[in-house]
Amino acid sequence: MTIDRLGPVDPVSKFRKTNESKKVASSVPADSIDVSEGAKRSAALKKVADIVRAAPDIRLDRVEEVKKKLADPNYVNDAVEAMADKVLDVLDI
């Protein structure tokens, strides 16, 4: 017994045109975040703290101003007298 060959399963299919698939618009939403008020406050405090840390510990302009005042003997005498007057006023003398 011989088995005859049947041939390709669907010889017409290779001649059929196929439709190109249509691209679907992206439905993925854009990335976004919501920041809480507490987080915003914390970020603002951190920013202020960084600015304060970066500021110099000594204000040289004030130091120079005080040096000039202390170099003037009249200022020292006036300051001492003003303080003495305040002490006397507090003591009611």
Domain spans of the chain? 36-93
Cα angle for residues 16, 22, 28 (degrees, 5° grid): 155
Cα angle for residues 79, 85, 91 (degrees, 5° grid): 140
pLDDT digits (tens, 9 = 90+) for 15-73: 666 667 777 666 777 788 899 999 999 999 999 999 999 988 888 999 999 898 888 87
Residue 3 has pLDDT above 80, yes or no: no
CB atoms within 10 A of CB 75: 13
Token pair listed for 66: 């005080």
pTM of the full structure: 0.34
Q: CB of 80 within 8 A of CB of 72? A: no
- pLDDT for residue 41: 96
Chain centroid to Cα 50, Å, comes to: 11
- pLDDT for residue 46: 97
